[in-house]
Structure formats: structure tokens, C-alpha cells
Amino acid sequence: MKGIVLAGGNGTRLLPLTLVGSKHLAPVYDKPMVYYPLSVLMLAGINDVLIVTRPAEIELFRRLFGSGSRLGMRIGYAAQAEPRGIADAFRVGADHIRGEDCALVLGDNLFHGAELPALLRSTTQGLRGCVLFGHQVADPRRFGVAEVDARGRLLSVEEKPEHPRSHLAIPGLYFFDDTVTDIARGLHPSARGELEITDVLRAYLMAGRAHLVRLGSGVTWLDAGTHESLLAAGRFVRDVQHHQGTRLGCVEEVALRMGFINADACYELGAEMSDSPYGQYLMASARAHRLSRTPATSPEE
């Protein structure tokens, strides 16, 4: 399965912060925002990822991740010359997908929860059609909205409706089978002048191949696309990390736990940042991983 991180757009809701660069490189507490959505794809077992961003910012992302080999991954880059909607990522990334199943995550979305890795793995297994997620929110008008029946079956999807049919918002994480590029290729711009992800979802829904999975209370979803939500996301990451002693969105540690890299490689990545708490955490994680893999010996031995 291939992955796409959509990190384009002009970030107008975050002006003037975004006058000097991509919002997806803005700090969310102790790491760039893009670390968090990338780590979600990694937790799903995806190690071949395309980052779609503005032409002027490709080199910034390349400086951050390079080819991805240090994380045991393949990371490529593609330019979206102007914001043309979420579904445009499938046109820009068609060569990357090349007829395989894929996952798309928005670069300003954060997900966290003990249930998340298992949920992602089950989603990728035997994927047929598309899978979208639903999360209960107080004000769904800022998001795509899903309507379901009493049995939880998906009935409709709407993009930022003035009068939502439910409070079930659709987070920026989607899984699609290999027909998504053909569907995206046939789309026409909406009244907003964009290729809407909801039109892709409707195409699958009309074919009876769209499935909604609810994100329960064990999974937190944050959209860091405004000043207030960016601050809230940073506070959330800080509080969880301080209380639990683990780091959210730590791509190096995720690569280690997913088996993309070994403990030695993780330790080296931490050593390069050893003056920072982040680097020290990576080194400690690598040491703990080594110990967990070392067979215990009896006192007699």
C-alpha cells in the first residue's frame, strides 16, 4: 500500500505565520507538524510515501526527510502548483500510486490513541473500496460530514454543509483501493473551484463500496489548521508526553517499532540530536528496544 501526505495549500488561516513557509512545518510542541500525519501512515505499515506540497517548499521537506532511507522508508515529493482540492492529490500522485491501494492523510491532522495502531492495521487488511472515518464533534460545519443509519451504514457525505445532517465529522485520513486515480481523473471542480474529496467518497458510496469506521473515545483527532487549534494541538502533545513519558508523532521511534529500522539506526539518529531532549529520548528508546530483544539469562548462567 502506498501513502500520500497532502501538505499543500496556502495556509491562509494561519497568516502571517505562513508568509515564510509551509504550515505543515510549523512546530507542534517539539516537532514539525508533518511528523504526526506521517507517523500515522507508518503505523499502518506504509513505508512508501509521497509528500505533496507547494513547489517552493519541496526542498524544505526534502531537507527534513531526504529519501526516507534513514527511516527505512521511501519518501518522494511532488509539487501541487496551486491548491486545487484534496482529491487533486490523486492526480498529482498517480505515478506514485500506480494501481496500488493507498492511504491519504492531510498534513495538518493529528491522531493519537492506544487503539489507533490496531485500527489502522485492520483497515489496511483486505481493503475493498474505500474506508473513511467518523468522529463526533460539536460543530461539524467546518468539516466533511457523514450521515449514517441506525446500523451505522454510510448514507451520505457532505462538504462543510451549512445545515449538517449529523455531528459525525470526517477526519483527514482515508484508505482507497486501486480505482481511486480513475475516479479522481473523472472529477470536475466544485462551486469552490476545487476537486472535492467528498465527490470521491460519493463515487465509492454510489457503487456500494464505501465504509465508515467510527473513531471511538480511545482515539483523539485534532485539526491544527487555525491559530487556536495549532496551540491546542501543541498543548495536547505536551500534556500527553509529560504524563505518559512517550513522544507522539516520533517518526524515528515508530520506524523502530514497525521494524523499518533497527535499534542501532535509531540510536544514531538520536545521537545526531543528542543536545536536545528529543534526541536523548530516541537514544533511550533504542537502548530499551535492545534490552527487550535480549534473551534473559538465569543467575546460574
Digit-by-digit pLDDT tens for the chain (301 residues) are 999 999 987 777 888 877 788 899 999 999 999 999 999 999 999 999 999 999 999 999 999 999 999 999 999 999 998 888 999 999 999 999 998 999 999 999 999 999 899 999 888 887 889 999 999 998 888 888 999 998 888 999 998 888 889 999 999 999 999 999 999 999 998 888 889 999 999 999 999 999 999 998 889 999 888 899 999 999 999 999 999 999 999 999 999 999 999 999 999 999 999 999 999 999 999 999 998 877 655 444 4
Give yes or no for a contact between 259 and 253, defined as CB atoms under 8 angstroms apart: no
**Is residue 248 packed enough to be buried (19+ CB in 10 Å), middle (13-18) or exposed (0-12)?**
buried
Sign of the dihedral defined by the CA atoms of residues 153, 155, 157, 161, in that order: negative
Q: Are 165 and 158 in contact (CB under 8 A)?
A: yes
**Contacts by residues 140-145 (CB-CB < 8 Å, ≥ 24 positions apart):** 140/164, 140/166, 140/167, 140/168, 140/169, 142/169, 142/223, 143/169, 143/170, 143/171, 143/223, 144/169, 144/170, 144/197, 144/198, 144/201, 145/169, 145/170
Contact 251, 38 (CB under 8 A): yes
**Residues 227, 114 contacting (CB under 8 angstroms):** no
> Cα separation of 146 and 132, whole Å?
9
Q: What pLDDT, on a 0 to 100 scale, did the predictor assign at position 150? A: 86
What is the longest distance spanned by two Cα atoms in the chain? Answer: 76
Beta-strand relationship, 220-223 and 109-112: antiparallel
Contact 66, 163 (CB under 8 A): no
Residue range 208-251, pLDDT digits in tens: 999 999 998 889 999 888 899 999 999 999 999 999 999 999 99
Angstrom distances, CA of residue 172 to CA of 4, 64, 197, 211: 12, 23, 10, 15
Query: Of 285, 276, 298, which Cα lies nearest the Cα of 27?
Result: 276
Q: Name the amino acid, one letter, at 128.
A: R
Predicted confidence at residue 298, as pLDDT, reads 46
The pLDDT value recorded for residue 295 is 66
Output the CA torsion 231→68→252→218 (10° steps).
60
Q: What is the DSSP secondary structure assignment for residue 176, as one 8-state letter?
A: E
Q: Looking at residue 21, what is its pLDDT?
A: 80
